[in-house]
């Protein structure tokens, strides 16, 4: 399980400390050392391990430790929940009530029976439900293990977020600049189980007023865990231009090179994925390494990537997946997926040699011009308002 807590460290000559808030137990822990030079991190990790993993067992104690389904996105309305049940109690678990609900609706109860030894888990398939169109939350929790009250309540419950695409007209083109008008927007999904999610920030941008960011600089995450940022379901059949592009910025912290970014496309509603881009460690960086939390300072700290979606057809999903390596922040801006016929944002210079992309188009307050030159030279643009 990924720990769910916030913490901060601090220190001065001769002293070092950590303050931690555990979300699930609603506990506050403060540890102080009067020896800054010793391996304080090792010492408090041992203390925290006792707190998180070695608290006294209760005889009857169960909980949901993983939600396999529902999760992320569905393109059909019938959904079958699948969860993982764990016996946290010291006595064998022979029965428990599993409760689950969609959004704020009434909870459905499922009576499980079997035999689970201490710390054992089992996969439980719950009765199917009809998922309404749109964005939803799924909550699942246990009650009455072996017919008795729960030994601890903090380990009973998990939740996930999911999106159902059935009747909603599919978008064809998309531009997202993360400029403060909602995150994630309707139809976008983030990884349901990641504690450190993608988010939006106004502290960095390639253009506009903000960007998306995945925090990899916080060392409380689990190495190798991942977080997804998934675009809405798009229908690219009517796209005149099938370019998919985005800007990203990343600088690793020296000595920590395990972060990676994968960008993939699915034509079967997330069942299988084809990778368009994958890079990690030093090869992922767009600027020099920094001995601090990274925020891009100029457009020179960003890299623009562009791919063709011409090999794909129909409804597609596009996913940004970051694997956490404890190194540094990664930013994404100006995600562009084609444009509908009649609104093509690509053009050519007067000689017909250099492809120039203008996005977003139509324009409200600002736009971005993107082009590639084989060698530096002066470039002059003239932009006309078609109205």
Q: Is 218 exposed, middle or buried (0-12, 13-18, 19+ CB in 10 A)?
A: middle
Between residues 131 and 356, the one the model is more confident about: 131
CA–CA dist 68, 354 (Å, integer): 48
Opening angle at CA 380, ends 378 and 385, nearest 5? 165
Say if CB 179 and CB 209 are below 8 A apart: yes
Between residues 40 and 207, the one the model is more confident about: 207
| CB proximity list for 232: less than 8 A, separation 6 or greater | 165, 170, 171, 174, 185, 186, 187, 188
**pLDDT of res. 349:** 45
Tell me the pLDDT band of 257, cut-offs 50, 70 and 90. Answer: confident
**DSSP character at residue 70:** S
**pLDDT of res. 40:** 76
The answer on pLDDT for 29 being more than 50 is: yes
Q: State the pTM of this model.
A: 0.74
pLDDT digits (tens, 9 = 90+) for 132-160: 888 999 999 999 999 999 999 999 999 99
Q: How far is CA 129 from CA 78, 82, 91, 247, 269, in A?
A: 6, 12, 33, 40, 19
The answer on pLDDT for 355 being more than 70 is: no
Tell me the pLDDT band of 47, cut-offs 50, 70 and 90. Answer: confident
**pLDDT of res. 380:** 75
Tell me the pLDDT band of 248, cut-offs 50, 70 and 90. Answer: very high
CA–CA dist 264, 266 (Å, integer): 7
- Pick the range with the lowest mean pLDDT from 8-22, 233-247, 348-362: 348-362
Between residues 149 and 350, the one the model is more confident about: 149
Residue 321's DSSP bridge partners are 228, 262
Between residues 194 and 289, the one the model is more confident about: 289
**pLDDT of res. 288:** 94
Please state, for a pLDDT cut of 70, what percent of the chain lies above it. 86
**pLDDT of res. 51:** 81
Between residues 270 and 384, the one the model is more confident about: 270
In the structure encoding, which two tokens stand for residue 208, read together? 């506009």
Tell me the pLDDT band of 87, cut-offs 50, 70 and 90. Answer: very high
Q: What is the residue-averaged pLDDT of the chain? A: 86
The mean per-residue pLDDT over the stretch 27-50 comes to: 82
CB atoms within 10 A of CB 224: 11
């Amino acid at each position: 399980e990924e720990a769910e807590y916030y913490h901060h460290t601090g220190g001065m000559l001769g002293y070092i400390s950590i303050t931690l808030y555990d979300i699930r137990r609603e506990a506050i822990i403060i540890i102080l050392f009067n020896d800054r030079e010793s391996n304080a991190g090792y010492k408090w990790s041992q203390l925290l391990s006792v707190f998180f993993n070695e608290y006294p067992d209760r005889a009857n104690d169960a909980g949901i430790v993983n939600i396999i389904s529902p999760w992320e996105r569905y393109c059909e309305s019938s959904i079958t929940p699948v969860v993982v049940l764990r016996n946290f109690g010291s006595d064998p678990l022979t029965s428990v009530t599993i409760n689950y609900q969609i959004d704020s609706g009434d909870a459905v109860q499922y009576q499980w029976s079997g035999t689970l030894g201490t710390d054992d888990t089992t996969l439980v398939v719950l009765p199917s439900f009809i998922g309404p169109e749109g964005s939803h939350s799924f909550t699942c929790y246990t009650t009455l293990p072996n017919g008795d009250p729960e030994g601890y309540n903090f380990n009973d419950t998990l939740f996930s977020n999911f999106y159902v695409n059935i009747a909603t007209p599919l978008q064809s083109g998309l531009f997202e600049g993360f400029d403060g008008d909602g995150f994630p927007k309707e139809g976008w999904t983030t990884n349901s189980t990641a504690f450190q999610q993608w988010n939006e920030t106004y502290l960095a941008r390639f253009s506009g007023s903000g960007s998306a960011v995945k925090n990899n600089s916080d060392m409380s995450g689990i190495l190798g865990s991942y977080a997804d940022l998934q675009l809405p379901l798009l229908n690219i059949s009517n796209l005149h231009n099938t370019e998919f592009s985005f800007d990203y910025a990343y600088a690793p912290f020296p000595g920590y090179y395990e972060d990676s970014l994968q960008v993939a496309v699915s034509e079967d509603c997330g069942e299988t994925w084809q990778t368009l881009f994958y890079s990690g460690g030093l090869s992922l960086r767009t600027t020099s390494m920094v001995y601090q939390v990274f925020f891009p300072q100029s457009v020179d700290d960003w890299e623009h990537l562009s791919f063709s979606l011409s090999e794909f057809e129909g409804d597609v999903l596009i996913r940004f997946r970051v694997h956490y390596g404890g190194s540094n922040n990664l930013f994404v801006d100006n995600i562009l997926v084609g444009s509908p016929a009649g609104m093509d944002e690509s053009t050519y210079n007067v000689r017909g040699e250099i492809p120039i992309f203008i996005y977003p188009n139509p324009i409200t307050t600002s736009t971005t011009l993107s082009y590639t030159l084989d060698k530096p030279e002066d470039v002059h643009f003239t932009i006309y308002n078609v109205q």
